[in-house]
Amino acid sequence: MSDLFLTGIGHLTTNHGDPIRDAVVAVEAGRITYAGTASDAPNQTGRRVACEQRAVMPGFVDAHTHLIFAGDRSDEFARRLAGETYTDIATGGGGILATVAATRRAAEDELFGLASERVWRMIRSGTTSVEIKSGYGLDTATELRLLSVARRIGDELPVTVKTTFLGAHSVPPEYESDRGGYVDLVIEEMLPAVQGLADYCDVFVEEGVFAVEEAQRILARAAELGMGARIHAEQLGHTGGARLAADIGAASADHLDHATPDDAAVLAAAGVTAVLVPGASYTLRSPQAPGAMIEEAGCTIALATDCNPGTSYFESMGPIISLGVVSMGLGVDSALRAATHGGAVALGLQDRGAIVPGAWGDLIVLDAPSPAHIPYRPGTNLVWRAFKEGTAIG
Amino acid sequence: MSDLFLTGIGHLTTNHGDPIRDAVVAVEAGRITYAGTASDAPNQTGRRVACEQRAVMPGFVDAHTHLIFAGDRSDEFARRLAGETYTDIATGGGGILATVAATRRAAEDELFGLASERVWRMIRSGTTSVEIKSGYGLDTATELRLLSVARRIGDELPVTVKTTFLGAHSVPPEYESDRGGYVDLVIEEMLPAVQGLADYCDVFVEEGVFAVEEAQRILARAAELGMGARIHAEQLGHTGGARLAADIGAASADHLDHATPDDAAVLAAAGVTAVLVPGASYTLRSPQAPGAMIEEAGCTIALATDCNPGTSYFESMGPIISLGVVSMGLGVDSALRAATHGGAVALGLQDRGAIVPGAWGDLIVLDAPSPAHIPYRPGTNLVWRAFKEGTAIG
């Protein structure tokens, strides 16, 4: 939490009104005190950084990741490209369950090491806040270990972390013929155990995974324990997860590849953020979510990496913004806003994702004249400097 | 040109036989002297780098770029996403001609500065050889300036550069109603002027740009002056550029989005390398070239960034390999080989693109256990160390 004074900003995206040219940003004790034209700026004594007409924008808020895991599934990636389906691979012991097996075997320090390398790469590509889900344990001890690692990342790395318990990510092998028993375990044992470690609870609602009614029971218990709700909804088919998210007032409905206009309308009416993850559809070669339709229906949209070892091993938000624009059809400004302000809304981080007085000084300076260069130049990490609560990173 | 000894390689891709586990690579005076298992390795006195089980592969050879230009076309990118076509934008004075206007105004040092920043970013993402085209001058003086800058990049930066004269990239405004006059200028004035500066000559063969017959005349004169031939062929429609490439024994036919099985057969028979540029089709949201069909027909395929400010502002080969695999449907091994050995073949760099005794020591060490992680993790620059002729870069 430092003082900072960014000068000579060629293009300032505040997410609150039009971009400002020839701008400065002042941060005191980690919080933004001024963001506007240089001519109206107050005197400032903090560390000065001359931006030399570069663009400045809020740091990225990545609202959906599964980044704590062990094992290597690059072989499966090649197999899927050679024609095997996600379901084929999952049925053969690959997919999520391969990662579960490797993750259960990994000690906490190993998981922390692997995950912090990933998060450092995220930070160096401009991410200042990240959601981290559990869900590769599927037993109480491992789920607790994953959430502890997620908390430790937030404590030890310069990034804001929100944690999500995703025990209902898949049915573990030992409950293969007793899904109801596993749902009971999630509700009766896991949820009370993770209270305090998990800010949110998420359920993978999908044909063959968890049903709407099961998700409803799990998320109701989570709410009693003080956790917010998120739902993996309408990814591989249409099963009603989006409507459930609206019914229970979830913080977000995520994926939404098969969302209908009716889904979008109820999500918008309920104030549920639509978290769109174009890296997954890219990797799976499946149609992208109807992002523009969802946005036009009035939803707040967020873009996220969905960082995971099976279907979207993206660590950086730049390529995700590019996919949001080029493949999903979002406008450039919409995609940039979704990757910052939208993510902050999805995670309940009201004082992040915008450069306005009072907000935390989570800022990135781009080596480019405008943030439109992010989708325009998808292969290049354009982050020139990053600041977390006013402190330079790296 | 140094001595170097890479030890503890977990996975060595030589492009000559199967990957080698537990390998070492020795380089003396810039050339590879040994690449094989550690147990059979000779003693070596050069700088030792412990790879700690990381993967090693040849540096990328990016065989198609237009990376020397001035100006900013990020606005046009947004306009095209909002529905304007490439042809609409070109007709309205945008497109290539906007870059031509800005590039003509730019002095050589400015162009060198802009281009070397781009090439440094390429080098840091693993590119060790690059083709650079002119084509944003479209007058003799500017085309000469662009090729001089390209040569200077090869002289001053740690990268091998092959230069290509692309005067026939577009018809400049001053010849708008006299395309034949411009073709004569290219043949009679420009080609003799660029002799010695250009290794290759290229023509954009496309409906409304240059016809096959014009390309034939231009490339015949170029051949007399000692330049090899490349052709922008079958990108936006099918106009016969691929067949011309085969007929004249061009070094490469590039793009090939609309290539037919007959085109692939004649290219294969003539030994013309197919240079595929999935970044352009990604950016233009058009169907990818039939890369797998072209490969199966027996062509050597190369993958390249097509780095340019209008249709493919990619500087890094990693995302291109990902697009080659995920969007174009190439196999993982094929795409990696196309980005290294294929590029080297396309550029006539027989002693690069493979890790075999006698070849130059252009090598990258990946922070990953195998090169399959490159397409598997498209948002991350996995280059841990890069070496040009045995010397560490950066």
Nearest to A327 by CA among A272, A288, A270, A277: A288
CB contact under 8 A, B285 and A326: yes
How far B279 CA lies from chain A's nearest CA (Å)? 9
Q: How many CB atoms lie within 10 A of CB A120?
A: 17
Q: Hunting for tokens 């430092």 — which residue is that?
A: A2
Would you place residue B1 in the very low, low, confident or very high pLDDT band (cuts 50, 70, 90)? low
- Show residues of chain A in contact with B321, CB under 8 Å: none
Digit-coded pLDDT (tens) for B178-225: 999 999 999 999 999 999 999 999 999 999 999 999 999 999 999 999
CB contact under 8 A, A81 and B318: no
DSSP reduced 3-state for B3: coil
- Show residues of chain A in contact with B331, CB under 8 Å: 78, 81-82
* CB-based contact, B77 to chain A, within 8 Å: yes
Confidence check: pLDDT of B42 > 70:
yes
- Name the residue in chain B with its Cα closest to that of A319: B379
**Which residues 109-128 of A have a C-beta within 8 angstroms of B?**
121, 125
- Name the residue in chain A with its Cα closest to that of B370: A74
Pick A379's closest partner by Cβ from B72, B78, B319: B319
Count how many pairs of residues, chain A against chain B, have C-beta atoms within 8 Å.
Answer: 94
CB contact under 8 A, B375 and A75: no
In the predicted model, residues of chain A with pLDDT beneath 70 are 1, 394
CA A8 from centre of chain? 31
Residue B251: predicted pLDDT? 98
CB contact under 8 A, A379 and B318: yes
CB contact under 8 A, A378 and B81: no
CB contact under 8 A, B77 and A369: no
CB contact under 8 A, A77 and B332: yes
CB contact under 8 A, B375 and A77: yes
Digit-coded pLDDT (tens) for B261-270: 999 999 999 9
Residue B165: predicted pLDDT? 98
How far A17 CA lies from chain B's nearest CA (Å)? 19
CB contact under 8 A, A326 and B75: no
* CB-based contact, A57 to chain B, within 8 Å: no
Name the packing angle between helices A212-224 and A241-248 (round to 10°).
Answer: 30
**What is d(CA B34, CA B321) in angstroms, rounded to the nearest whole number?**
27
Radius of gyration of chain A (CA): 20
Query: Which ipTM did the prediction report?
Result: 0.96
Cβ contacts of residue B320 below 8 Å, gap of 6+?
A: A379, B277, B278, B279, B303, B304, B305, B314, B339
Digit-coded pLDDT (tens) for B141-153: 999 999 999 999 9
* CB-based contact, B10 to chain A, within 8 Å: no
What share of chain B in percent tops pLDDT 90? 90
Q: Hunting for tokens 């749902």 — which residue is that?
A: A183
CB contact under 8 A, A315 and B377: yes
- Name the residue in chain A with its Cα closest to that of B319: A379
* CB-based contact, B376 to chain A, within 8 Å: yes
- Name the residue in chain A with its Cα closest to that of B75: A372
Pick B316's closest partner by Cβ from A78, A315, A379: A379
**What is d(CA B183, CA A306) in angstroms, rounded to the nearest whole number?**
51
CB contact under 8 A, A375 and B72: no
Pick A121's closest partner by Cβ from B78, B81, B380: B380
- Name the residue in chain A with its Cα closest to that of B314: A379
Residue A1: predicted pLDDT? 58
Mean confidence (pLDDT) of chain B: 96
Are the C-beta atoms of B306 and B299 separated by less than 8 Å? no
Digit-coded pLDDT (tens) for B113-139: 999 999 999 999 999 999 999 999 999
**What is d(CA B263, CA B271) in angstroms, rounded to the nearest whole number?**
12
- Name the residue in chain A with its Cα closest to that of B371: A74
Nearest to A357 by CA among A89, A119, A34, A38: A34
Are the C-beta atoms of A215 and A205 separated by less than 8 Å? yes
Residue A222: predicted pLDDT? 98
Are the C-beta atoms of A336 and A56 separated by less than 8 Å? no
Q: DSSP code of B190?
A: I
Bridge-based pairing state of the strands A4-9 and A23-28: antiparallel
CB contact under 8 A, A285 and B326: yes
Beta bridge mates, A303:
A276
Confidence check: pLDDT of B51 > 70:
yes
Q: DSSP code of B280?
A: H
**Which residues 78-107 of B have a C-beta within 8 angstroms of A?**
78, 81-82
CB contact under 8 A, A315 and B379: yes
Would you place residue B32 in the very low, low, confident or very high pLDDT band (cuts 50, 70, 90)? very high
Are the C-beta atoms of A297 and A340 separated by less than 8 Å? no
Confidence check: pLDDT of B256 > 90:
yes
- Name the residue in chain B with its Cα closest to that of A281: B326
**What is d(CA B381, CA A369) in angstroms, rounded to the nearest whole number?**
23
**What is d(CA A274, CA A265) in angstroms, rounded to the nearest whole number?**
11
* CB-based contact, B129 to chain A, within 8 Å: no
3-state SS track over B83-95: CCCHHHHHHCCCC
- Show residues of chain B in contact with A332, CB under 8 Å: 77-78, 81
